Amino acid sequence: MNLLVTGGAGYIGSHTAIELIMAGHDVVVVDNLSNSTRAAVSAIETVTGRDVTFFEYDIRNDSRLDEVLACRAFDAVLHFAALKAVGESAAQPLRYYANNVAGTATLLDGMNDYGIKTLVFSSSASVYGDPDTMPIGEDSPPDPKSPYARTKLITENLLHDLHDADPDWRISILRYFNAVGAHPSGRIGEDPSGVPNNLLPFVAQVAVGRRNCLNVFGDDYPTPDGTGIRDYLHVVDLARGHVKALDYLAGAGGVSVHNLGTGRGYSVFEVVHAFEAASGRKVPHRVAARRPGDVAVSWADPSKARDELGWTAEYDLERACEDLWRWQLTHPRGFSTRKA
Ligand code: NAD
Ligand code: UFG
């Protein structure tokens, strides 16, 4: 299939582009590089041995988007392009709504003009908020706790409305849990700008000596060791979930919603110990105050994705830590500092 990947220079989009190409698809990437670099696109080409057409455009720019959509007879779009920092979204809600909601509306409008009506959308487990029961199934009522999470839920609603108005649309909404790790080749991985918000990139930067100490945000949660529990999913497993979702859409119309997670939760301390084991390095850490907006526990019931998409996570946390460490060691400052 001819596929357009928005946000394809980013962390999950770039890993997904690799899996799509390996599955025989032709991939075009559009990304404004607001949270990524062109080096990620080169890395996709290195890993796959295939050229990737890349447009450095913002999806909100409709004339630029028109140029992109006209470049191939696209069969589907995988839409990753979004801003994703939860804390920042509380300080800059307009920016988040404009980019994530209005940006998606512009994209959908352009797709409609070109008769492209198949979409895989990157949603988030954050739409569930803080449910009472675990694991979290797709029928758990949404209760987003941040502007970021609300942009995801609003976009989901927009996609349902679009399908109600035009049943030709085929839409897969994937609610990701916590994406971690890097490609096993060591050539591509997450390259956060500034201080990482997320646990694993921060841990890896402490292990490699770039930062001194990890702040563990709270050890007084109602969990066995007091730290927060999450469902950490290897980014390659997550990427492969998109290949499965596309296959599923080929046979199913409508709007589908699937959790992508492992079905297992790990605490912050368990993650630190797993990374120490994988890297052979100590990860100095201290307990700090809770981070506002964090929930105590979150892990997926991934059985719907297993039953309907034929997808199950294959890699465990240990493997994700090993692959992340390989990437971190060879690229201690991300793509700009590749070591031999
Ligand atoms: P990322 O920031 O690495 O990738 C997003 C990419 O989109 C970046 O390369 C950025 O430059 C690009 N982008 C943003 N706005 C754009 C615009 N207006 N026009 C063109 N390009 C634009 O983030 P990621 O971790 O790869 O996340 C990908 C998607 O998955 C996002 O939609 C995110 O909300 C969602 N998600 C991520 C996680 C996670 O654990 N990382 C969890 C749940 C959902
Ligand atoms: N944590 C720390 N110290 C840090 C960073 C994180 O202790 O420096 C803790 C958090 O308190 C939490 C856990 O590590 O208990 C995971 O935190 P992350 O920031 O890595 O991930 P979140 O679960 O907060 O959120 C991530 C993405 C969201 C996405 C969500 C999906 O950032 O965009 O996963 O479940 F929606």
Two tokens, residue 321: 């830590």
Over 70: is that where the pLDDT of 337 sits?
A: no
| Ligand 1 pocket, residue 122 CB under 6 Å | yes
For the chain, domains (ranges, CATH) are: 2-336 (3.40.50.720)
* Cα–Cα distance measured from residue 177 to residue 93, given in angstroms and rounded to the nearest whole number: 22
φ/ψ of residue 199, rounded to 5: -65, -55
Q: Between these two residues, 338 and 99, which has the higher pLDDT value?
A: 99
Number of helices followed by number of strands (H, E) in the chain: 12, 14
pTM over 0.95: yes
199-255 confidence digits (pLDDT tens): 999 999 999 999 999 999 999 999 999 999 999 999 999 999 999 999 999 999 899
108-167 confidence digits (pLDDT tens): 999 999 999 999 999 999 999 999 999 999 999 999 999 999 999 999 999 999 999 999
| Average pLDDT, rounded, for the chain | 96
* Cα–Cα distance measured from residue 100 to residue 88, given in angstroms and rounded to the nearest whole number: 13
Per-residue pLDDT at 339: 52
CA distances from 94 to 101, 147, 178 (A): 10, 9, 25
Over 50: is that where the pLDDT of 196 sits?
A: yes
Contact criterion met (CB below 8 Å) for 4 and 59 = no
Mean pLDDT of 66-82: 98
- Mutational test site, ligand 1, from 18, 30, 34, max ligand atoms within 8 Å of CB: 34
C-alpha neighbours within 13 Å on the C-beta side of residue 163? 16
DSSP string covering 253-305: -EEEEEEES-S--EEHHHHHHHHHHHHSS---EEEEPPPTT--SEE-B--HHI
Sheet holding 53-55, edge to edge: 53-55, 26-30, 2-6, 76-79, 118-124, 170-176, 254-260
Over 60: is that where the pLDDT of 338 sits?
A: no
Q: From the CB of residue 61, how many other CB atoms can be counted at a distance below 10 Å?
A: 14
19-58 confidence digits (pLDDT tens): 999 999 999 999 999 999 999 999 999 999 999 999 999 9
Per-residue pLDDT at 333: 87
CA distances from 206 to 55, 89, 97, 100, 209 (A): 34, 26, 33, 31, 5
Per-residue pLDDT at 264: 98
The answer to whether 266 is a known catalytic residue is no
Determine which residue's CA is closest to atom 3 belonging to ligand 2: 216
Per-residue pLDDT at 336: 81
* Cα–Cα distance measured from residue 242 to residue 231, given in angstroms and rounded to the nearest whole number: 18
Per-residue pLDDT at 340: 39
Q: From the CB of residue 93, how many other CB atoms can be counted at a distance below 10 Å?
A: 15
> What is the 8-class DSSP label of residue 127?
G
Counting ligands in written order, the one closest to the CA of 176 is 1
